[in-house]
Amino acid sequence: MSSALERAVSELNAAGVPDAVVDARYLMAHALGQSSALLSARHEGMRLSEAARVRFESALESRLQRKPVSQIVGYRAFWNQSFRIDGHVLDPRPESEVLVEQAIKSSPKRILDMGTGSGCILLAILSECPEANGVGIDCSAAALATASGNAEYLGLSDRAGFLQSDWFSRVEGKYDLIVSNPPYVSESEYADLDPEIRLWEPEIALKAGESGLDAFRKLAAGARDFLLPEGELMVEIGRGQARGVRTVFENEGYAEIRASRDLDKRIRVIGFEWPSSAENRC
């Protein structure tokens, strides 16, 4: 097995794949049907079965084509859980855990997740807020099928519903928390994305017009009609977008109530309220 790993690392490095050693071990663990954390030196001295060798070679070929590891192995760890991942949804990023962390602090009861994708944000929040329930919205039926499967796997189907909708067009009810990790990549930025993202993840979940702010404009225009008094809208934003996003929401009449940074010290999440919420607290 060690020779297979060494060859895989060499091929991945030659293809310009980052983190070749880590990826090779993940793919080997996948081929062996075990966690990469359990892949020890003892295992590396073992001979691969023919079935494991075939699985490993197939996985390696996919990675050489820059298919994300999460799509190859079928899952991604996020907020202490594993989520099913496929080509219909974005790969959950560690940065999005900032949105989950801030959402939990607000102790929500009714949550609306706009652009839910795999459902990872909504389901992570629900896992920490046992009295809450929520609805995940997406325009993609395939993404919603993935999210629904994740809810069932995590035992949260009784508190998580999913609805296909073009933004707020089919949304009903009022919510004390609306969260969204919307598309925020500009047209120029999209061309420079890593192949793992540009070639394998859904374009519709990434691109947001020339400025990267189109989705924020749609959120700002529609969210106020679905916020309860004292409700909050939290959005994840991209690098360098804080000023532009603030302007979008301020122009619609929202008031900023929080800004949270990620591990790189960049503003990653901004929370807003509709003015009627502030008035109701006076």
Tens of pLDDT, residue by residue over 122-155, are 999 999 999 999 999 999 999 999 999 999 999 9
Residue 282's pLDDT is what? 36
> What is the residue extent of each domain of the chain?
2-65, 75-280
Q: Give the pLDDT confidence score for residue 39 in this predicted structure.
A: 58
Please state, in angstroms and as integers, the Cα–Cα distance from residue 256 to each residue in 106, 177, 182, 269, 272, following that order.
15, 14, 18, 11, 4
Structure confidence by residue, pLDDT tens digits, 59-75: 999 999 999 999 999 99
pLDDT at 161: 97
**Does residue 22 register a pLDDT over 70?**
yes
Residue 206 has pLDDT above 60, yes or no: yes
What pLDDT was estimated at residue 37?
A: 53
User: Residue 40: what pLDDT?
Assistant: 56
Residue 163, pLDDT > 60, answer yes
Q: Tell me the pTM.
A: 0.91
- Say which CATH topology domain 75-280 has: Rossmann fold (3.40.50)
Of residues 38 and 20, which shows the higher confidence score?
20
- Alpha carbon distance 248, 60 (integer Å): 44
What whole-number percentage of the chain has pLDDT above 70? Answer: 93
Give whole-number Cα distances, 105 to 57, 64, 193, in Å.
Answer: 45, 41, 32
Q: How many CB atoms lie within 10 A of CB 63?
A: 24
- Local confidence band at 280 (pLDDT 50, 70, 90 cut-offs): very low
- Is residue 90 within 8 Å of 120, Cβ to Cβ? no
